[in-house]
Structure 1
Amino acid sequence: MSHLYTTKVTAIGGRSGTIRSDDGLLDLALALPKELGGKGGATNPEQLFAAGYAACFENAVIHVTRARADKVRDDQIEVAGEVGLLPNGQGGFNLDVTLDVVLEGFDQATAEEIVHAAHAVCPYSNAVKGNVDVKLNISTR
């Protein structure tokens, strides 16, 4: 099966280094967060993962409603991604994720149906399934 899209990002220097995409659109300094004993002042892998997951999940919500009469438009959805880094008890680390999803113009039951369908098709959700705890907070306005 062929890829729909492929990208490449190179990291140099770990959490205190830089990242750059092959097309040059992403070119950022990284820093260990102050909460982990670093200097802070730059982004970190957890922020980047949270941003990517939130944006991808938002698009998955829009995608699953394309065939529905009550489609979700770009201005009807907001997703905030929160990524936590925790010790795994074996000398390594795990992540957990909370996605706060707000849908405008839908009742709670419909919003929950849509979000759960999106969770089943989102590439990030599928990538972490069974390995990362993902909590979905769904609300409407």
Structure 2
Amino acid sequence: MNQPEKVLYTGKTHTTGGRDGAARSSDGRLDVRLSGPGSAAPGTNPEQMLAAGWSACFIGAMGLAAQKMKVALPKDTAVDAEIDLAVTDGAYFLQARLNVSVPGVDAEVAQALVDAAHQTCPYSKATRGNIDVVIALV
């Protein structure tokens, strides 16, 4: 495991009730009700939060790659993240798809940005080899 040279930020949350509970960050900026996937109850679920966090981080990693490549990343760059909660033989697991849109950028350059982001994004690193991930340039 890597030893950090410097910790840039620590996100802290307190969660109660599991999938039918609530989560709140230590600074109060995140305060959400939780509900099971597909439930009619109010609230979000861990899969949606993972999708939102990963897609935001991935776009940030694309921005860093664009700077290194000396290309402009369009402001309307988008990632549609899909996180599946799946089950096989009673065992739960996740799988993911990231559909990346980089409007107005040559497909070869856009693919290079996506490839670089997938190598540097902390979410991509955390999931690499642990879950099936498909990344598509759309």
TM (norm. structure 1) is: 0.89
Distance across 1 between alignment mates of 2:30 and 2:98: 24
How big is each residue's C-alpha offset from its partner over 1:5-45, in whole Å with a ceiling of 9 and x where there is no partner? 111111100000000000000001111133xxx44331011
- Residue 69 of structure 2 aligns to a residue whose secondary structure is coil
Percent identity between the two aligned chains = 38
Moved more, 108-117 or 63-72: 63-72
1:100 corresponding residue in structure 2? 99
Trace 1:18-97 onto structure 2 (pairs within 5 A): 18-34=22-38, 38-73=39-74, 75-89=75-89, 91-97=90-96
Contact 2:15–2:24 (8 Å) recurs in 1: yes
8 Å Cα contact 2:33/2:42 also seen in 1: no
Native 8 Å contact 1:85 1:94 kept in 2: yes
In 1, the alpha carbon distance for the partners of 2:88 and 2:25 equals 30
SS of equivalent to 1:41: coil
Q: Which runs of at least 4 in structure 1 moved beyond 4 Å after TM superposition? A: none
TM-score with structure 2 length normalisation?
0.90
Displacement of 1:69 in angstroms is: 2.5
Per the TM alignment, residue 117 of structure 1 is displaced from its structure 2 partner at its CA by 0.7
User: Please, what is the CA RMSD of the aligned residues?
Assistant: 1.3
Segments of 5+ residues of structure 1 without an aligned counterpart are none
